[in-house]
C-alpha cells in the first residue's frame, strides 16, 4: 500500500479519536479531581464499597452512570488505585464505565428489540463480577495502601484545589496512556485497508465475534458510537455475537488501558486478565447470538458500520489534506470542538504548571487555608450564615450533577420531533437536487446526516413520552431503507439507481411526514 495512504489514514483516524473523545476526557479529569480533592482517599474508598461484597456491584453501577470513555476512565482508575481500592474493583469500573451512559442507554432502548440492550447490560454485570472475583482471588496482593493526602479546606480554596487538580491530571502520566490509546487507533488504520470490514459481521459468520474481538482491542470507541453501531447491526441483521464483542471490548479496552495495567499490575497479570476477558466475552457472545437474533430482518450482504476502524483512503486518492479536513469536519459536533479547545487549554496549563511549579507549592498554598468542621456555622455581617458542607455532600452533588447533566443532555442531543422533521425536510431538498444532477460528493455528505436525524427521531419521541405508533415507525423504517439503498447507489456511482432510489426515498419521506401529522 502507498506509504502516503498509511500515514494520512493513521493521522486522520487518530485526529478523529481525539475529537470525539475530548468531552469524556474532560469529564474524566473532573471526576479524578473530585475524587482527589473533595472525596479524598477515605471517601473514594467508601464510595466503591470499601472491602465489602458491594464493591463490584457498586463499581458496575457507578460505571453505568458516570459519562466517561475508555480514555477518560484512566485518570479515574489512577485515583482509585491511590485510594487503596482492590485491583478487581478498579478493573471492573474501568471496563464498565465506558460501556454505557444515560444517552447511549436511551438510544439502545429504542432498538427493534429493547431486551437486547437489557441483556447486554446484565451480561456486562456478570462479566465484571466474574473478572473482579477472579482477579482478587488470583492476585490478592494487587492492592496498594492508600497514599496519604492532606484534607482540602472548604470555600474558594476547595474550588481552586479541584481546578488545579484537573490541570495536574492533564499533565500526568495518565494523559500519556490516553495518547498511546489514540496511537493504537492509528496502528489499526494502517493494518486495515479501506472497506475490509464491510463483510466482517455476517449473520451466519461463525468467525465474526473473533474478528470483532481482534479489531476492538486496538480500537477506541465512545459509548455513543458503539451503541449506534450495535443498533445498525441489529437493523441490518448482522451477527449479535459480533455486536456484543464489539460493544464490550471496543468500548472497554484500548492500547493505553492495557499499557496502564502492565505498568501497575505486571505483564503476566495483565495478560491473564485479558485472556479471561476475551474468553468470557466470546462465550457470552455465542450464547446471546441466537436468542437475541432479530426476527423478520433480511440480513444485509455488507455494512459500513466498521469503516471508521479502517484506513479512510485508498491508493490513488489525491489531496489527502483536503480529504482529511472534510472527514474531520463531517464527524465533529460543536460540543466536541468546544471540548477539544478545553482539552488543549488544560494541556497547556498543565505543562505550564509543571514548568513553573515543579515543587507543587501552589497546591500546598491552597491546602494551608484554615479548616472548619462540617457542623460549624460561620456568622457573617448582616445576620447571614454560611453552612460548611461536608465533603461527601459536595462529592454527591458533583458526581450526581454529571449524571443529571447527561440526562438533560439527552434532550439537547435529541431535539423535538417537530424540529427533526424540519431539518430532514431541508436535507431531503438538498439530496433531491444532488441525485437529480449526479452530485456524488453532496450526496455522500448529506445521506449520513439524514440517517442520523432519522435515528434521532425515534429516540426523541421515546424520550418525551410519546413514542411513534407502529404505523409511523414502519414509515420511518421504510424511509431509512431507501436512504441506505441510495447510499449504496451513490458509492457505486450508478446514476440510474441513484435516481430511482432517490425518488422512492422522496415518496417515502412524504408518507412519513403525513404519518407524523404534517
What would the grid cell of residue 411 be?
Answer: 434532550
Q: Of 136, 130, 139, give the one whose Cα is nearest residue 281.
A: 130
Query: What does 363-430 look like in DSSP terms, one character per residue?
Result: HHHHHTSPP--TT-EEE-GGG-EEE---HHHHHHHHHHHHHHHHHHHHHHHS--HHHHHHHHHHHHHH
- Residue 508's pLDDT is 92
| 1 contacts: CB under 8 Å, gap ≥ 6 | 193, 311, 315
Q: How many structural domains compose the chain?
A: 2
What would the grid cell of residue 349 be?
Answer: 496549563
- Same domain for 334 and 458? no
How is the chain split among helix, strand and coil, in percent rounded to 5?
Answer: 75, 0, 25
Reported pTM:
0.81
- Same domain for 48 and 137? yes
- Residue 507's pLDDT is 92
- Same domain for 272 and 167? yes
Q: Domain of 473: which CATH number?
A: 1.20.120.290
- Residue 379's pLDDT is 47
- Residue 349's pLDDT is 95
**C-alpha dihedral (75, 77, 83, 86), degrees to nearest 10:** -170
- Residue 262's pLDDT is 94
- Residue 164's pLDDT is 94
Any idea what the Cα angle at residue 245 is, between residues 244 and 249, rounded to 5°? 120
pLDDT along the chain (518 residues), means of 10: 84 92 92 90 88 84 82 93 92 84 66 70 85 89 85 82 93 94 92 79 75 85 78 72 84 91 93 92 87 66 73 76 83 85 95 92 82 48 56 70 69 82 90 86 83 82 82 88 86 86 91 84
- Same domain for 314 and 430? no
- Residue 402's pLDDT is 66
- Residue 370's pLDDT is 58
Last residue in a domain, options 346, 376, 399: 346
CA distances for 29 relative to 22, 24, 184, 197, 369, angstroms: 11, 9, 21, 34, 24
Is 310 inside any structural domain? yes
Is 300 inside any structural domain? yes
Last residue in a domain, options 330, 346, 362: 346
Q: Of 250, 36, 249, give the one whose Cα is nearest residue 150.
A: 36
Last residue in a domain, options 346, 370, 396: 346
Is 372 inside any structural domain? no
- Same domain for 172 and 316? yes
Query: What does 232-292 look like in DSSP terms, one character per residue?
Result: HHHHTT--HHHHHHIIIIIHH--HHHHHHHHHHH-HHHHHHHHHHHHHHHHHHHHHHHHHH
**Placement of cell 472548604 in the chain:** 154
Cβ–Cβ contacts within 10 Å for residue 206, how many? 11
3-state secondary structure of 317: coil
- Same domain for 317 and 457? no
Give the range of the structural domain holding residue 158, as residue numbers without chain letter.
Answer: 3-346
**Contact by Cβ (8 Å): 251, 280:** no
3-state secondary structure of 108: helix
The beta strands (E) that lie in 461-504 are given as none
CA distance 72 to 64: 14
**Contact by Cβ (8 Å): 59, 89:** yes
Is 263 inside any structural domain? yes
Sign of CA dihedral 329, 326, 67, 23: negative
Is 391 inside any structural domain? no
- Residue 457's pLDDT is 86
- Same domain for 145 and 252? yes
- Residue 102's pLDDT is 66
- Same domain for 430 and 291? no
Is 241 inside any structural domain? yes
- Same domain for 147 and 40? yes
CA distance 516 to 417: 9
- Same domain for 158 and 29? yes
β-strand pairing of 377-379 with 385-387: antiparallel
- Same domain for 142 and 221? yes
Is 393 inside any structural domain? no
- Same domain for 325 and 220? yes
Is 501 inside any structural domain? yes
CA distance 396 to 392: 6
Amino acid at each position: 500500500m502507498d506509504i502516503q495512504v498509511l500515514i494520512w489514514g493513521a493521522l486522520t483516524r487518530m485526529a478523529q479519536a481525539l475529537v470525539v473523545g475530548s468531552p469524556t476526557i474532560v469529564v474524566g479529569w473532573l471526576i479524578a479531581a473530585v475524587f482527589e480533592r473533595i472525596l479524598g482517599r477515605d471517601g473514594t474508598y467508601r464510595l466503591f464499597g470499601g472491602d465489602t461484597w458491594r464493591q463490584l456491584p457498586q463499581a458496575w453501577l457507578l460505571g453505568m452512570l458516570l459519562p466517561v470513555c475508555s480514555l477518560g476512565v484512566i485518570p479515574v482508575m489512577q485515583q482509585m488505585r491511590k485510594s487503596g481500592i482492590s485491583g478487581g474493583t478498579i478493573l471492573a469500573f474501568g471496563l464498565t464505565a465506558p460501556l454505557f451512559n444515560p444517552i447511549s442507554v436511551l438510544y439502545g432502548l429504542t432498538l427493534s428489540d429493547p431486551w437486547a440492550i437489557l441483556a447486554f447490560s446484565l451480561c456486562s454485570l456478570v462479566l465484571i463480577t466474574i473478572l473482579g472475583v477472579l482477579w482478587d482471588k488470583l492476585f490478592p496482593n494487587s492492592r496498594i495502601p492508600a497514599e496519604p493526602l492532606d484534607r482540602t479546606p472548604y470555600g474558594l480554596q476547595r474550588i481552586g484545589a479541584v481546578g488545579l487538580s484537573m490541570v495536574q491530571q492533564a499533565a500526568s502520566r495518565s494523559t500519556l496512556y490516553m495518547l498511546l490509546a489514540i496511537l493504537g487507533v492509528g496502528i489499526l488504520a494502517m493494518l486495515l485497508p479501506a472497506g475490509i470490514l464491510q463483510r466482517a459481521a455476517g449473520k451466519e459468520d461463525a468467525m465474526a465475534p473473533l474478528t470483532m474481538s481482534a479489531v476492538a482491542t486496538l480500537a477506541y470507541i465512545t459509548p455513543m458510537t458503539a451503541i449506534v453501531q450495535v443498533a445498525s447491526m441489529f437493523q441490518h441483521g448482522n451477527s449479535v455475537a459480533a455486536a456484543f464483542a464489539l460493544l464490550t471490548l471496543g468500548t472497554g479496552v484500548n492500547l493505553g488501558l492495557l499499557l496502564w495495567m502492565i505498568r501497575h499490575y505486571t505483564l503476566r497479570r495483565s495478560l491473564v486478565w485479558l485472556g479471561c476477558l476475551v474468553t468470557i466475552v466470546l462465550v457470552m457472545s455465542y450464547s446471546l447470538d441466537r436468542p437475541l437474533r432479530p426476527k423478520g430482518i433480511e440480513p444485509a450482504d455488507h455494512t459500513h458500520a466498521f469503516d471508521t476502524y479502517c484506513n479512510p483512503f485508498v491508493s490513488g486518492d489525491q489531496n489527502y489534506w483536503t480529504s482529511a479536513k472534510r472527514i474531520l469536519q463531517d464527524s465533529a459536533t460543536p460540543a466536541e470542538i468546544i471540548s477539544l479547545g478545553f482539552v488543549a487549554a488544560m494541556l497547556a496549563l498543565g505543562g505550564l504548571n509543571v514548568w513553573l511549579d515543579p515543587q507543587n507549592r501552589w497546591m500546598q498554598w491552597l491546602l494551608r487555608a484554615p479548616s472548619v468542621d462540617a457542623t460549624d456555622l460561620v456568622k457573617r455581617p448582616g445576620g447571614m450564615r454560611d453552612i460548611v458542607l461536608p465533603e461527601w455532600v459536595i462529592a454527591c452533588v458533583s458526581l450526581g450533577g454529571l449524571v443529571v447533566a447527561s440526562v438533560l443532555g439527552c434532550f439537547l442531543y435529541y431535539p423535538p420531533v417537530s424540529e427533526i422533521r424540519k431539518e430532514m425536510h431541508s436535507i431531503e431538498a438538498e439530496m433531491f437536487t444532488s441525485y437529480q444532477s449526479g452530485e456524488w460528493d453532496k450526496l455522500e455528505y448529506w445521506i449520513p446526516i439524514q440517517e442520523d436525524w432519522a435515528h434521532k427521531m425515534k429516540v426523541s419521541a421515546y424520550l418525551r413520552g410519546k413514542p411513534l405508533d407502529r404505523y409511523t415507525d414502519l414509515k420511518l423504517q421504510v424511509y431509512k431503507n431507501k436512504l441506505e439503498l441510495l447510499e449504496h447507489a451513490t458509492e457505486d456511482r450508478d446514476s440510474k439507481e441513484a435516481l430511482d432510489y432517490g425518488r422512492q426515498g422522496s415518496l417515502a419521506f412524504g408518507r412519513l411526514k403525513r404519518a407524523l401529522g404534517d
